[in-house]
Amino acid sequence: MPRKGENIYKRSDGRWEGRYVKYIDEISGKKKYRSIYGKTYSEVKKKLIAAKQTVILNEAPKTKFKLTEWLRIWLYQYAKLNVKDSTFSNYYYCIRNHIIPQLGEIDLKQLSTINLQIFFNGKLLNGRIDGKGGLSSKSVRDIYTILSASLKQAVDNNLIDKNPCSNIKIPTDKYNSIRVLSVEEQKLIENAVLHSEHYLSTSVILALYTGLRLGEVCALQWKDVDLSNAILKVSSNLQRIKLVPYNEKKKTRLVLGTPKSSSSIRDIPFSNGLCHYLSIKKSLNQSYKFVVCNHEENFVDPRTVQSYFKKVVEQVGIKAASFHTLRHTFATRAIEVGMDVKSVSEILGHADVSITLKKYVHSLTEHKRTQMQKIDTIWADKPSNF
């Protein structure tokens, strides 16, 4: 029995067979099929996708490829095989919302560095789809990454001579001022959740004392927590992604998958205080699979955790903060108490220590004041009027 719409079968000899339309007979109008074989379903599926893509390329005149047509081929025949579902969803909506409306009808061979540079500059100035200003430099770089990769593949396929994205100038990412809880604000939030019996209070403590991302907190299972050695393993991430394409009834779905990047898969040693806290939670939730959960099997939607934290912030009466603020706060506190940046970077799961340096090596005014007082020690005998 073939899987729906794929035309892949398991043969009686144990092998898998995939069939595709090689060409249509010009006289009879009948479709002529070819078969591909392999030891596994996934092997045949990959071969079948590549074969179909070859047919498309051979049939389409190279000089008449519009960017829209090529992006469709690149997205489904190249990108989809090599990226996570969440990344594919981002690619799809970035192409649909930003690239195709302005560049889609341009012939592939007519794309130039100058018209692409103008396109990217325009996105920085007024690129939001709601018309309320420009995109961030990061968002523009994401668009650039998609266009550059797709056009590089076009060069590899001899569809164009060179990649017009090669000499584009895009601003480097800028890390804007980030919200960090002051020590007093952190105490208020901790007191609120530690004196609460709400099952989501654990999510706040985990983020404050390990720096886990929201999706990592929601995906954490008790099997990943080694209380004997006070180490938790980050190997999963839970996130809500847009369906491609979505319909009016259901636009998104929750996906339990791997973390953001390979560097995000990590072991985090935790403090004695957190170990004691988690031990108590574990004893109360013996049958639960997930650490942040109020039932035996399923995980908690990240949006539910965000809503809970928003209510906590309002309850304690502090300046607005998102759940991600807890990660920023952990990193800042860690640096303030003297933890080396390399260790902080690895605990946060950053791919490069430079990310940590750019985003987190800043201190709050109260900490800076304490540090500045140390300068007084360089004068053993101060003048009386100093």
Phi-psi label, residue 30: left if phi above 0, alpha if psi -120 to 50, beta otherwise: beta
Same domain (yes/no): 77, 153: yes
Q: Is residue 376 part of a domain?
A: no
Q: Is residue 381 part of a domain?
A: no
Provide the domain count of the chain.
3
Distance CA 200, CA 291 (A): 10
Mean pLDDT for the chain? 87
Same domain (yes/no): 82, 153: yes
Q: Is residue 41 part of a domain?
A: yes
Confidence grade of residue 110 (pLDDT, cut at 50, 70, 90): very high
| Structure confidence at residue 245 (pLDDT) | 79
User: The domain containing residue 37 runs over which residues?
Assistant: 1-59
Tokens of 362: 């800043």
Say which range, 233-237, 255-259, 322-326, 343-347, has the weakest mean pLDDT. 255-259
Same domain (yes/no): 190, 315: yes
More confident residue, 183 or 53: 183
| CA angle, residues 138, 141, 147, in degrees to nearest 5 | 150
Q: pLDDT tens for residues 302-354?
A: 999 999 999 999 999 999 999 999 999 999 999 888 888 899 999 999 988 88
Which helix (H) or strand (E) segment holds residue 12: the answer is none
Q: Is residue 268 part of a domain?
A: yes
pLDDT at 71 over 50: yes
Distance CA 364, CA 34 (A): 66
Same domain (yes/no): 125, 34: no
Choose one of 114, 145, 174: the last residue of a domain: 174
Encode burial over 230-242: b for 16+ CB neighbours within 10 A, e otherwise: bebebbbbbbebe
Alpha-carbon torsion, ordered 14, 16, 22, 27, to 10 deg: 50
pLDDT at 93 over 90: yes
| Structure confidence at residue 357 (pLDDT) | 80
Choose one of 152, 174, 196: the last residue of a domain: 174
Alpha-carbon torsion, ordered 351, 353, 358, 364, to 10 deg: 120
| Structure confidence at residue 362 (pLDDT) | 61
Same domain (yes/no): 269, 308: yes
* Residues comprising the chain, all counted: 386
Q: Give the count of beta carbons closer than 10 Å to the beta carbon of residue 96.
A: 16
More confident residue, 170 or 113: 113
Same domain (yes/no): 29, 71: no
Spell out the alpha helix ranges (H) of the chain. 41-59, 67-74, 80-82, 85-94, 100-103, 113-126, 137-156, 183-194, 201-210, 214-219, 272-284, 302-316, 324-336, 341-348, 353-360, 365-372
The CATH number of residue 135's host domain is 1.10.150.130
Contact residues for 249 (Cβ-Cβ < 8 A; gap 6+):
none
Residue 342 · residue 310 · CB < 8 Å: no
Same domain (yes/no): 357, 236: yes
How does DSSP assign 116-179, residue by residue? HHHHHHHHHHH--TTSSSPPPHHHHHHHHHHHHHHHHHHHHTTSSSS-TTTT---PPP------
Q: Tell me if residue 8 falls in helix, strand or coil.
A: strand
Choose one of 39, 59, 79: the last residue of a domain: 59
The CATH number of residue 254's host domain is 1.10.443.10
Same domain (yes/no): 89, 35: no
- Mean pLDDT to the nearest integer, 4-27: 79
Q: What percent of the chain has pLDDT over 70?
A: 87
Same domain (yes/no): 93, 219: no
Confidence grade of residue 365 (pLDDT, cut at 50, 70, 90): low
Q: Tell me if residue 242 falls in helix, strand or coil.
A: strand
Distance CA 277, CA 275 (A): 5
Q: Is residue 299 part of a domain?
A: yes
Q: Is residue 81 part of a domain?
A: yes
Distance CA 332, CA 360 (A): 6
Pairing, β 252-257 against β 266-269: unpaired
Q: Is residue 211 part of a domain?
A: yes
Q: Is residue 283 part of a domain?
A: yes
pLDDT at 60 over 70: no
Same domain (yes/no): 192, 287: yes
* Highest-pLDDT range among 84-88, 97-101, 354-358: 97-101
Residue 55: burial class (beta carbons within 10 Å; 0-12, 13-18, 19+): middle
Tokens of 4: 């729906």
Confidence grade of residue 90 (pLDDT, cut at 50, 70, 90): very high
Same domain (yes/no): 225, 352: yes
More confident residue, 215 or 1: 215
Distance CA 59, CA 341 (A): 55
Residue 110 · residue 103 · CB < 8 Å: no
Same domain (yes/no): 279, 130: no
| Structure confidence at residue 26 (pLDDT) | 47
